[in-house]
Amino acid sequence: MWKEWPLVAFTIAGQMAVGFFLVAGFPLFLLDGSHAVGTTREEGLAVLAVVLGLLVAAALLSFFHIHHPLRARSSLVNIRTSWLSREIFFELVFIALVAVEIVLVWGVSAASGLSRGVHVAAALAGILFLLSMIRLYMLETLPLWNQAYTPLSFALTALSLGAIAAGFIWGGIFILLSLAFVAAEIVISFLLAPGHGVYRSRPTPSLRPPADVPRYLHPARLASSLAGLSLLGAALIWGRGRAVEGLNGKEWLVAAFALVLAGQLTGRFLFYGLLARPGR
């Protein structure tokens, strides 16, 4: 299970990039001369830079997962039938469009029609990247992953981490949004991933060996997310309005982010741990 750390890191970083772009990028899309929803161009650029940084980090981390990184280029050749090829393709398109948007917002204007067009195209690429990431685990031959939990948890990882990060910049409505997403994530983990808590769980009949998932990880993951949820509530109370006004709100948010992220990482290790690969 632990040996899947590059995949855990890749999927979480990639999903966070998508979520941050979609949630925090929304005010950027609305940005006009009058600083829509209080957004400055610098804040917009900061959002785009973080998204790009996360995507590049995700791409680099994925190299630790493959055993012939120098052949990585050929992973795009089977777009016709492989969701893995599609995932890589859409990630590259997403990276390119975010980079173009940075150049446009920096050099031209966030309010230009062109940068808004690029923003919408990048959002679409990000969504397709997330969908391919979900779909590649939902094969008929993988009953443990081919369930509602996979799309829901991947999407909620993106949205909750993205919304907390947006809350850090803009506070207010974004903290409320992150509360809703994290709560939803906890509910689906509790209801739809009970197998994650059961040692040696797997569907039978199967030629796949039983999963070797430590039993304590499922409750630990729920506890971490619940603690993060409580801190988000605290951040909402202490950092009313724009979080920047009360430093307290920001500190709560950083702690909440760390706890929710720890919950997501644990949940993702469990996810991969469920499907053991026989042999080495």
User: Site residues (CB under 8 A) for other proteins?
Assistant: 65-69, 71-72, 74-78, 81-85, 88, 136, 139-142, 204-210, 275, 277-280
CA triple 56-167-182, angle to 5 deg: 85
Rounded Cα distance between 156 and 188, Å, is 9
Instruction: Give me 93's structure tokens.
Output: 């398109």
The runs of H, that is alpha helices, within 4-82 are 5-30, 41-62
Question: Closest separation between CB of residue 174 and other proteins, Å?
Answer: 35
Instruction: Return the number of the residue (42 or 140) whose C-beta is nearest other proteins.
Output: 140
- The span from the CA of 30 to the CA of 99, in Å, is 19
In whole angstroms, the minimum distance from the beta carbon of 203 to other proteins comes to 10
Pick 4 or 101: Cβ nearer other proteins = 4
Spatial distance between the Cα atoms of 54 and 10, rounded to a whole number of angstroms: 9
Smallest distance from other proteins to CB 193, Å: 18
Minimum gap (Å) between residue 274 Cβ and other proteins: 11
Rounded to a whole number of angstroms, the minimum distance from the CB of residue 16 to other proteins is 22
Closest CB to other proteins among residues 128, 186 = 128
Contact 76, 36 (CB under 8 A): no
Q: Any idea what the Cα angle at residue 22 is, between residues 20 and 27, rounded to 5°?
A: 95
**Which CB atom, from 69 or from 194, has the smaller least distance to other proteins?**
69
Q: Which is nearer to other proteins, 130 or 169 (CB)?
A: 130
